[in-house]
Structure 1
Amino acid sequence: MKNLLTAQPRTRRAARMDRMATGALYGLGALVLLLVFWLLAAILSKGLPGLRLSFLLGQPEEIDPGGGIGPVLFNSFYILLLSLLISVPIGVGAGIYMAEYAPDNKLTAFLRMCVESLASVPSIVFGMLGLAIFAEYFGIGLTILGAGVSLAMLNLPMLTRVTEEAMRAVPDELREAGHALGMTKFYIIRRILLPVAMPAVVTGICLVAGRAFGESAVIILTAGLSTSGEMWDFNLFSPGETLAVHLWYVQSEAIVEDARQIADKSAAVLVLFVLLINLAFRLPMWRAKRRHGG
């Protein structure tokens, strides 16, 4: 009886602490959301009202006011597409290998540590590596090709690690059930494990795509601060200034009268397209999940 009486205050105290901790976590979450929405509102409210189609498709101006962002916006998507075409197959494949095929030994642990270390390396290091490989070793200069490959190298470690963790998070019961039915290992991965892990893999692709679209240090060192002057230039060996680099240049070194307005509109376009890229990757997953649930 005495133990029961002493346990009741402890239970009430634990419940009170639980409510306080839950309230504190909800408050911190709400604070983070408010900060994110405030930043988005501050950026978009300055740039969106002044956006026109002529600005999105126009040529940048060095001296005269009223320049656009057409070529640099095209280069942003072009370099992003090149980097994803290289990094997604290699990164996802490497992650699947590390999770499902690689033996659990010291070499695998060392490779995993290297991947984790590369994922935290500053982007300017990959920019210098791309500069040394493409501009100095191969002698092709500052090009769209060099920027795309350098961005792929920047995104590979993160995409590999995310894919590996997503595959490891799939319950072992699904693997055992597939083997019990006589399925091959590759068939189990392709038809069972990968579809289950796909939401996490898509999240990783969204992260690397947003990072690549807004990257500036790598682009400056591998693609340069200029464009070919053409709106739709698919030449891989042309210079490839992107929207993020153009935003930095306009804000820091441009001499045009409306540099601040161009910077505000460019920042709004950059944030808006990053949001649209994430939506474009996630929308098919949401539809598939809803259709499956229905």
Structure 2
Amino acid sequence: MNVATNARKDAFQTGKSFNRAKNKAFTGFVWIVSALVVLFIFGLLFLILKKGLPSLTWDFIFGLPSEMEEGGGIGPALFNSFYMLFISLLISIPLGMAAGIYLAEFAPANKLIAFVRICVEGLASVPSIIFGLFGIALFVEMMGIGLTIIGGAVSLAFLNLPVMTRVTEESIRAVPKELKQASFALGATHLQTIRKALVPTAISGLVTGICLVAGRAFGESAVIILTAGVTTSGEMWDFNLLSPGETLAVHLWYVQSEAIVPDAVSISDKAAAVLVFIILMFNVLFRIPLWIKERNNR
């Protein structure tokens, strides 16, 4: 009897030791892969920022671009990037959040809604150039307004709308059901529950979605080339929605591929640094309110 018991104990200890070894090996593997990914990202950012940031000047950031002579800036393209980003977010965030909340809270569980979810997921993975072709068909051919800021901004909103919808739906669904039930138990209406309980709890996921769509919109080029063009009006602060809307990402592509200015390489390095730096700042600025909220809740 004791021999059998000891044998079982030895087998259990051996299996336990083997599982510990596997757990340590897997944990080490995950740490190594994570470290390599982080190092790759930091290395890529370092290479981009190292080439462009040291030579940046205010004249370059706010100056007008040059077609022939060296020393041109990115002022109008940078302004168009922010202007079109603001318009696209003004459209995509409210509509995307409303659609996501509807799918998470109000939509019935039937085949039609399941098909709608499949369509939204499919649109979220569609290449951006398809939305550019849609923008050409809608704004250039059907409406006849040409390559404009408003056409590019609305096309960007269409591009980001499925992503914002899916992120909102998943963030709302991730909220514990007990919180929703507790809100109803206290006499809150469904709308009050969404406003006061679900959205504040899901704010981290919603902010992540906004960061994703903002970064994608700011760095997008294919949609802008097809719907807003590769030129600017030549003015620094042009708020006319019917003006051509070359953005910083498009200007970077144009300088790298077609520009004949002597300092094209220098312009592309500095423009890439500005583009990456601004996208990083987007993520930091959107996260600051969350960090403050988490710190106050401790």
Please indicate, yes or no, whether the TM-score normalized by the shorter chain is above 0.5.
yes
Residue of structure 2 equivalent to 1:224: 229
- Give distance in 2, aligned partners of 1:79 and 1:233: 12
1:33 maps to 2:35: no
Alignment of 1:162 with 2:167, yes or no, is yes
Amino acid at match of 2:127: P
Shift of the alpha carbon at 1:289?
A: 1.8
What's the CA shift string for 1:248-292, capped at 9, x where partnerless?
000111101000000000000000000111112111121122122
User: Aligned AA for 2:53?
Assistant: L
Q: Percentage identity across aligned positions?
A: 60
Q: Which amino acid aligns with 2:29?
A: A
Residue 78 (structure 2) pairs with residue 73 (structure 1):
yes
* CA deviation after TM superposition for structure 1 residue 85, in Å: 0.0
The one-letter code matched in structure 1 to 2:42 is F
Match of 2:151 in 1: 146
Q: Which runs of 5+ in 1 are unaligned?
A: none
Say how many residue pairs are matched.
293
Structure 1 residues 156-201: Cα deviation after superposition (integer angstroms, max 9, x where no partner): 0011000000000000001111111111011011000100001100
- Point out 4+ residue stretches in structure 1 off by more than 6 angstroms: none
| Corresponding letter in the other structure for 1:184 | T
Q: CA RMSD in A?
A: 0.6
Equivalent position SS for 2:14 = helix
One-letter amino acid of the structure 1 residue matched with residue 105 of structure 2: E
Kindly indicate whether residue 67 of structure 2 is the aligned counterpart of residue 58 of structure 1. no
| TM-score scaled by length of structure 1 | 0.99
1:1-294 matches, within 5 Å, as 1=5, 2-293=7-298
2: distance between equivalents of 1:203 and 1:17?
34
Higher mean C-alpha displacement, 174-183 vs 39-48: 174-183
CA displacement at 1:105 relative to structure 2: 1.0
1:283 and 1:74 map into 2 onto residues whose CA distance is: 24
Distance in 1 (alpha carbons) for counterparts of 2:130 and 2:274: 27
Q: Tell me the distance in 2 between the aligned counterparts of 1:41 and 1:179.
A: 51
What is the SS of the residue equivalent to 2:202?
helix
TM-score, normalization by structure 2: 0.97
Q: Measure the CA separation in 1 of the matches of 2:58 and 2:297.
A: 39
Partner amino acid for 2:143? F
Q: Deviations over 1:65-84 (max 9, x none)?
A: 00000000000000000000
Partner SS for 1:170: coil
Q: Which amino acid aligns with 1:287?
A: I
Higher Cα Rg, which structure = 2
Q: Which amino acid aligns with 2:174?
A: A
| C-alpha distance in 2 between matches for 1:266 and 1:77 | 14
In 2, Cα distance between equivalents of 1:6 and 1:43: 55
1: CA distance between counterparts of 2:220 and 2:296?
35
